[in-house]
A and B are shown apart, each in its own frame.
Chain A
Amino acid sequence: MNHQTIIDWKLSNINKNVTAELVLTDEMQQYIEFHPELVKELAFIDAFWQQDNQELPSSELDQRFYNMLSQAQNAQQNIDTNQAAKQSKQVHIFTVIKNWLSTSTIKPFAQFATLGLVFLLGFNANDSRDEIGQQGQNLAANLAAKNGIDNLQQEVSSLSAMLALSMLDKSSAAERLSGVAYSQQTDLTDPLLMKTLMSTLEHDRSTAVKLAIINTLNNLPDISEQEHQLLAFTIKENNTLVKIELCRLLFNIGSSVTKNELLKALNESELNPDMAEFLQRINAISHI
């Protein structure tokens, strides 16, 4: 069980998802109580959904989102910069000493004196502070920061998914378009978000929204889970622009089985001239 499990449960609960398990188990309850930051996030989700007539994500919410993103990017940059600077400095000092010692003009006595001085300095430094321990602490801090960034990125993705779900449910096409844009900021692994996108693609009356969703799906590395549904949408779609884009999506990243099924269905159906021309083009390209 992790944070995402609880958040998914919360979202299903809010959306009255009939297929999801809506009962809060004792184990889940204990997990929530043990993580105060999760309690805050759940309270935020509740507050977010319970606001009626919420027009658009508020500027405060937007600001929070971008602040989180900015913090994540800054933290990552700082770690990279510090590590690079330390490495550069270490290499520089060792190179100088090595060059100086290897210079043939320095007399052996001077070399011996210098080595002694280095030994003393090293001994004192080691005595006053454990250098290796310090490096270990730095490494642990970096790892913690990295984990923090991962968590932060997860939160950002989760927040974008929540915003996307909320906006996709709006009556205004402009807001639903924003919902699609927010969904592009996530990795689209949230099953509820994907389900909502597919449902919107099937039922939305705005061509712009449908086209935007198809463009989003086009960026996925794999659509095997949605292929069957997409094939059904493509066959029954009446809007030529949307039908062509759905065909393009399936021909681009669909499996060969789906492509063949689609070509067969299109060849058997009565097509308008625009679709027929597109199909002819696809058939020509498929021979390349």
Chain B
Amino acid sequence: MKKLNLTLLGLTLSALMQNAHAIEKTYSLPLSNPGEPVSLEIEVHTGAIYIEGFDGESIEVTATMEEIATNELNKVERIINDVTAELSDGRGNNIEKIGEIISGHTNKHKRKLRSAEGLKSVKNNSMQLEIEEEDNEVEISSEYSTQNVILHIKVPKRTRLDIELYKGGDVEINNISGAIEAEAFKGSIIANGVSGPMVAETHNTDIVVSFDVLNQQNPTSLTSHSGNIDISINKNTSAKINVQSYKGEIFSGLATEFFASEDVQRKNKGGKQKIVIGGMMSAEVNGGGQDITLATYNGNVYVRTK
């Protein structure tokens, strides 16, 4: 039975791979006002976003669109991973059930097929992607569609980013000195060589940020419900790092100690005694500076120096 199910998985995978095809297009948008502040707002329903800061005065966009079949492929890949894990775990209790689900999924697709005799296949090359630029304000959007949108974007380093990604892969940001706001519902947010301020939020995935120089004008805040938060700061960076972790652990490479209110503490305020439950843990690095707040419910928090 196990062998049958694995064969079924393999067939589904190869069928989906045959259906998958990608379109890639490149766009270059010169800025209306070179040297002035730039902002980039991206909203993608399904896909991945990679942003790189560079020394130019234009926005370079490479968009790869994949049919939704590729998403199905990803789903099957995930199922195979789960099945493999079950097998290596020695339990294998759910394999039959998984096989049934995949069989049902394949049959559902088969039912949609009708006779194409005498017809030729026409590939959908239209891109469901909008790019607009006005006075250095750029908007890129791909709302709900049957396409997986993968964006590789080069922007001036000073660009201010506002990114939302609902499904698919990760958001990756490199070498940006402008303010960053990012939200990813299913994928991770990974940023390297950024200065902040940064406000990022994920649900079940990690946020990994390596700060270059920390912006001291505005606070930074990273929040994840169930993902880990991992930050790296330079040894000479001044900051006040606040951590709110409910069930996870905190791992610190800082020379400065974290201090915290006790789990249950009694406080006097205005002559009134009250019980304070929980609280934040904070560390003032190099005498303290702008706030970096890290909040996660189930994940761990890692604070590193470099």
Q: Which of A67-75, A106-114, A155-163, A240-248 contacts B (4 or more CB under 8 A)?
A: A240-248
B183 CB, nearest partner CB in chain A, Å: 8
- Residues from 226 to 271 in A contacting B, C-beta threshold 8 Å: 240-241, 244, 248, 251-253
Tell whether A274 pairs with B297 under 8 Å between CB atoms, given A175-B218, A241-B225: yes
- Give the docked Cα–Cα distance between A175 and B217 (Å): 10
Main secondary structure of the interface of B (DSSP, over half): strand
Residue B280, interface by CB 8 Å: yes
Count the A-B residue pairs with Cβ separation under 8 angstroms: how many? 86
Residue B12, interface by CB 8 Å: no
Q: Is the CB of B199 within 8 A of A288?
A: no
Residue A52, interface by CB 8 Å: no
Q: Is the CB of B221 within 8 A of A208?
A: yes
For B201, the closest partner residue in chain A by CB is: A207
Chain B 251-295 interface 0/1 with A at a Cβ cutoff of 8 Å (1 = within): 000000000000010000110101111101000000000010101
A37 CB, nearest partner CB in chain B, Å: 29
Tell whether A240 pairs with B225 under 8 Å between CB atoms, given A253-B274, A285-B277: yes
- Give the docked Cα–Cα distance between A248 and B179 (Å): 31
Residue A222, interface by CB 8 Å: yes
Residue B219, interface by CB 8 Å: yes
Q: Is the CB of A55 within 8 A of B297?
A: no
Residue B156, interface by CB 8 Å: no
A248 to chain B: which residues have CB within 8 Å?
Answer: 277-278
Q: Is the CB of B217 within 8 A of A288?
A: no
Q: Is the CB of B291 within 8 A of A181?
A: yes
B235 CB, nearest partner CB in chain A, Å: 25
A199 CB, nearest partner CB in chain B, Å: 19
Chain A 177-201 interface 0/1 with B at a Cβ cutoff of 8 Å (1 = within): 1100100000000000000000000
- Give the docked Cα–Cα distance between A285 and B197 (Å): 37
Tell whether A252 pairs with B276 under 8 Å between CB atoms, given A172-B179, A211-B244: yes
A36 to chain B: which residues have CB within 8 Å?
Answer: none
Q: Is the CB of A285 within 8 A of B264?
A: yes
Residue B223, interface by CB 8 Å: yes
A225 CB, nearest partner CB in chain B, Å: 15
Contact-residue size bin, chain B (C-beta under 8 Å from the other chain): 35 or more
Q: Is the CB of A240 within 8 A of B297?
A: yes
Contact of A56 among B162, B201, B217 (CB under 8 A): B217
- Give the docked Cα–Cα distance between A60 and B37 (Å): 18
Contact of A208 among B160, B179, B295 (CB under 8 A): B295
Q: Is the CB of A241 within 8 A of B295?
A: yes
Residue A221, interface by CB 8 Å: yes
A126 CB, nearest partner CB in chain B, Å: 49
Contact-residue size bin, chain A (C-beta under 8 Å from the other chain): 20 to 34
Residue A142, interface by CB 8 Å: no
Residue A101, interface by CB 8 Å: no
B264 to chain A: which residues have CB within 8 Å?
Answer: 285, 288
Residue A206, interface by CB 8 Å: yes
B156 CB, nearest partner CB in chain A, Å: 16
For B219, the closest partner residue in chain A by CB is: A177
Chain B 127-162 interface 0/1 with A at a Cβ cutoff of 8 Å (1 = within): 000000000000000000000000000000000101
Q: Is the CB of B223 within 8 A of A177?
A: no
B275 to chain A: which residues have CB within 8 Å?
Answer: 251-252, 285, 288
Chain B 204-243 interface 0/1 with A at a Cβ cutoff of 8 Å (1 = within): 0000000000000111111101000000000000000000
- Give the docked Cα–Cα distance between A34 and B246 (Å): 56
B219 to chain A: which residues have CB within 8 Å?
Answer: 174, 177-178, 181, 212
Residue B31, interface by CB 8 Å: no
- Give the docked Cα–Cα distance between A26 and B180 (Å): 48
A206 to chain B: which residues have CB within 8 Å?
Answer: 199, 201
B198 CB, nearest partner CB in chain A, Å: 7
Residue A276, interface by CB 8 Å: no
Residue B181, interface by CB 8 Å: yes
For B221, the closest partner residue in chain A by CB is: A208
Q: Is the CB of A241 within 8 A of B197?
A: no
Chain A 271-288 interface 0/1 with B at a Cβ cutoff of 8 Å (1 = within): 000100010001001001
**Chain B positions near chain A (C-beta within 8 angstroms):** 37, 160, 162, 179-181, 197-199, 201, 217-223, 225, 244, 246, 264, 269-270, 272, 274-278, 280, 291, 293, 295, 297-298
A181-B291, A212-B293, A240-B225 are known; give 6 further A-B pairs, CB within 8 A: A56-B217, A173-B221, A174-B181, A178-B217, A240-B297, A251-B277
21 sampled A-B residue pairs with Cβ under 8 A: A56-B217, A172-B162, A174-B180, A174-B198, A174-B218, A177-B218, A177-B221, A181-B219, A181-B291, A207-B201, A207-B223, A208-B201, A211-B223, A221-B272, A241-B295, A244-B297, A251-B277, A252-B275, A285-B264, A285-B275, A285-B277
Complex A-B, nearest 3 residue pairs according to Cβ-Cβ distance, in ascending order: A208-B221, A173-B199, A174-B197
